[in-house]
Structure 1
């Protein structure tokens, strides 16, 4: 038997084979048979599936069978959703022996008790031990995506299991196993079925995070036809009612490392930016219409648009973006985009501010982001972030500055290069502290309507005063402003046209609460 299995491994080597001798339950009785299991995959890179057991716990009964069946179901579920969105024959790679309905699960016994692998803060300890295992067994890791499943630690009085980490962290995700995590409970609406839907739906939701997916929700029009978006609240509906991957999800998964069978490098650094954007509300289409251009050193396959409302001041961004409604469009040529977003598909059209995160989905799996702010007034969108035609900076110079860091000079904010910028002095002790300022001489007196600014990716300024002068000595306050930390060029109109030659930005605070300040570029425009 062993000779035959080794021969088979050699024959299937080009299909990426892993052989293991294991115990497999028949599913008919309690009898276990010892057999040689041959795990194969047609893909070069496959999900790292790890069952991690604290040293004061043991594996749960039939975990290999139960989790194998559920993971195979999940693999097919994502394949069907990818097909529905126009990506045939695509799902995540996974080693499996379909003859016995098993997937390859790497079982690792932890060196510490469950208290060291707690929900809060315990994920790092789990990662450290799994990384040590992969270092010692490098052929066991074929991808950067890892799903870690831990056995439940206990049951609460109401029968609900509880345990360790259960969330996504970059390309890692964590989930919980318990005795009821069994495909026989899929679709049931009784107590056990409802509990299963939450925990299994949660597992697949967190797997989505581990596969690069942010939160997002269904459009209003999709509620009746498609149901619940997995990356919203699908952990309460998966298997019981319609639960789907959005077009945005599938565009990102389409360039995922383990959804593609090739040998190219994934997730490398990309230099990309939206260079022009036009945003307007079309009355005839009853839609927000966005168009623009981008530059990128890596091909862009899709553009995805996350409209994240700040409802009741909940905030926006990670873990506050469940209600982000999204669209997807394909790149037009090599550098352009266009999309229509009907406002009937927005659930929230009150005075809540929105953050639009426009993301370029590159063919190497990297996603780059530009963000813009807007709001609804009287149930209609107010869009004032279209790219302005700035006046020329020829003849501009820096008249004064509070400090500058070597390599990040004040002059960088007027060099028309968005990849350079100014940073307050920090390397010489004591570091410069707030307030910080830069004064620009635009070379001649001009009448202008507003200014633009690209805030820093780090050390971004927050509250600023904008001042102007004709002589560079006597300055008048134009505006007190809060500069969003959005990673895109922001427009700020003066209350009325101003006539000046000198323009000062006085930064009074930072978004991170630190004493340092940074921004990349400033400009001026006339309507």
Structure 2
């Protein structure tokens, strides 16, 4: 996920690891201290890779090692304190530190001048050289998470520093160093202090992205008690006023590779799906109540809920989700969830459409999401995405597929009936591009008395299908049309009821057009109820 720094102070809007040579069991508690050849140690096996990347026409800035060490240790404690406040004591990101309280920073000299590493698009060139370094020095790469800090390129006339990449890209993130990035400026409200808060707050914000955190904001009631959420606009308040991590942030960090001291495998593939969901506004509670069930081949620790409004048609998704208000609940047993979200905690209730992103937080650090759409009407949420009681898809098959993409990605038509919302069928595009109409037939194995059909667009709505026709049959040869229909360009299951129940075995879907006007089609699931 690429996310850019949001500079909120008005005057500024223009805007590591080493070889393990010793493992010591500490205090009989099973904690292993990892010590490096150059005298740094950590009680984590996986640690943040901290890189100082210097273009070949620049040099490290004076005092960078002490300045950045002080700041990273402060940031490590900030994350630890917030984790503790949210019920996860003694958890923060691992980092190598020596006896002089200096953090291990790997300096990598770039092969090109600063002009080759611009803010926009420069991260690719930087990461390519860092990955080449890691390939040559594999013991220096102890985790999936990397923070890249680069010296500022110049100062603007008003004293604002500027430079290269400053955003998150997946599990990597980028930040800027300048001479005033010094802990002595923490908490100051003069020009130097405000500038520091933006750039250091920005560093901690982008680190959050590099630690798997999306944007989200504080609830209405949290403004007074906790202040500004770091993953919203807290990158302009850190050190000056109250800034915090949300419960949702901490639930995700709790399963992060470098927040845990074990050596298990993190971020392996996960197959998971929400199988049932019920959502309603309960007037007696003045709350949105959401419950449901999920399937997952990897343990789910928490379920988190992002309510992302499309205010003034700002859009949704990455870089439009700063104002998403969130909740967290623990998984109930091995397959259920429940949450109450009081609408008094929502800032926007003016008719703005919302995306509800229900995310399963897996024990191996992965997070899988399913997106549902709803809106507020006259200040009350209207939720129409509750699932129907669908037939089991066990024994079903997809046959007579017009095309499927299996070379460039897993767009196999079998994904349409696997019960997993994060997989999908995709029409062929490698080699010869398949064009509309696209079609496939689902064989349910035996005849069933069917009231209607469910269809889900690919999560995220890439290559969304618009116009389509459903046909059904008992013998797979003679089909009856259920009509030409239109799929909404929306996430979640969409239901199409028959006028009366029909006994049928085969369901044929003919996709006729797309929302993006292109030749490609994708769908996540097809079912019947």
TM-score (norm 1): 0.85
Query: Which position in structure 1 is the counterpart of 2:13?
Result: none
1:454 deviates by: 2.5
| SS class of match (2:128) | helix
Supply the distance in 2 between the matched residues of 1:473 and 1:12 (Cα, whole angstroms).
70
Instruction: Give deviations 1:56-85, integer Å, cap 9, x for gaps.
Output: 011111111111100010000111000000
Partners in 2 of 1:93 and 1:405 — Cα distance?
Answer: 41
**Pair 1:311–1:466, CA change in 2 (3 A):** farther
Quote the RMSD (CA, aligned, Å): 3.2
Give CA-to-partner distance per residue, 1:386-424, whole Å, 9 cap, x none: 110236889999998765678978787578787886554
State the match for 1:6 in structure 2.
Answer: none
**What residue in structure 1 maps to residue 513 of structure 2?**
509
Distance 1:479 1:130, change over 3 A: same
Residues 25-424 of structure 1: pairs in structure 2 closer than 5 A: 38-97=39-98, 99-390=99-390, 413=416, 423-424=426-427
CA deviation string 1:441-488 (max 9, x = no partner): 99999884x53112335864331244679996885746433242x3x4
Q: Distance in 1 between matches of 2:510 and 2:179?
A: 61
Rate the CA distance shift 1:228–1:392 in 2: closer, same or farther, 3 A.
Answer: closer
**Does structure 1 conserve the Cα–Cα contact (< 8 Å) formed by 2:471 and 2:507?**
yes
State the 1:507 CA deviation: 2.4
Match of 2:8 in 1: none
Relative contact order: is structure 1 or structure 2 higher (C-alpha 8 Å, sep ≥ 6)? 2
The structure 1 residue matched to 2:494, chosen from 491, 516, 519, is: 491
Equivalent residue number for residue 25 of structure 1: none
Q: Which residue does 2:17 correspond to in 1?
A: none
Task: Rate the CA distance shift 1:493–1:383 in 2: closer, same or farther, 3 A.
Answer: farther
Using the TM superposition, name which of 371-380 and 511-520 deviates more. Answer: 511-520
Measured after TM superposition, the shift of residue 518 of structure 1 is 3.0
Return closer, same or farther for 1:200/1:434 CA change in 2, 3 Å cut-off: same
CA contact (8 A) 1:437 1:507 kept: yes
Question: 2:386 and 2:151 mapped to 1: Cα distance?
Answer: 51
**Shift in alpha-carbon separation, 1:103–1:480, aligned structure 2, 3 A:** same
Q: Residues 3-58 of structure 1, C-alpha deviation per residue, up to 9 Å, x if partnerless? A: xxxxxx768695211243xxxxxxxxxxxxxxxxx321111111111111100011
Between the aligned partners of 1:96 and 1:233, the Cα distance in structure 2 is 30
Which whole-Å CA distance do the structure 1 matches of 2:23 and 2:496 have between them?
69
Kindly indicate whether the alpha-carbon contact (under 8 Å) linking 2:456 and 2:494 is maintained by their aligned counterparts in 1.
no
Paired residue for 1:27? none
> 1:157-204: per-residue Cα shift (whole Å, max 9, x none)?
111000000000111000000011000110111111111110000000
Total equivalences in the alignment: 493
8 Å contact from structure 2 (residues 358, 370) kept in 1: yes
Question: Secondary structure, in 3 states, of the residue corresponding to 2:248?
Answer: helix
Q: Equivalents in 2 of 1:255, 1:209: separation in Å?
A: 15
Q: Which range is displaced more, 268-277 or 497-506?
A: 497-506
Runs of 5+ consecutive residues of structure 1 not aligned to the other structure: 1-8, 21-37
Show the counterpart of 2:435.
Answer: 433
Are 1:463 and 1:508, in contact at CA under 8 Å, matched by a contact in 2? yes
After alignment, is 175-184 or 516-525 more displaced?
516-525
CA contact (8 A) 2:272 2:421 kept: no
Task: Provide the residue aligned with 2:456 in structure 1.
Answer: 454
1:481 and 2:487 correspond: yes
* Counterpart selection for 1:17 from 7, 29, 35: 35
Does structure 2 conserve the Cα–Cα contact (< 8 Å) formed by 1:291 and 1:337?
yes
Residue aligned with 2:87, SS: coil
Task: Give CA deviations for 1:188-232 in whole Å, capped at 9, x if unaligned.
Answer: 111111111100000000000000100000011111100000000
The 3-state SS of whatever aligns with 1:96 is coil
**How far, CA to CA, are the matches of 1:392 and 1:18 in structure 2?**
54
Separation (CA, whole Å) in 2 of partners of 1:336 and 1:318: 28
**Cα pair 2:22 2:34 within 8 Å, conserved:** no
Shift in alpha-carbon separation, 1:418–1:224, aligned structure 2, 3 A: closer
State the Cα distance separating 1:425 from its structure 2 match.
5.2
How far apart are the structure 2 equivalents of 1:438 and 1:455? 15
Distance 2:398 2:160 in 1: 64
The equivalent position to 2:466 in structure 1, one of 456, 463, 466, is 463
Displacement of 1:133 after TM fit? 1.3
SS at match of 2:40: strand
Judge conservation of contact 1:308–1:325 (CA < 8 Å) in 2.
yes
Aligned mates of 1:138, 1:385 — CA distance in 2: 48
Q: 1:267 & 1:445 partners in 2: Cα distance?
A: 40
CA distance in 2, matches of 1:294, 1:321: 25
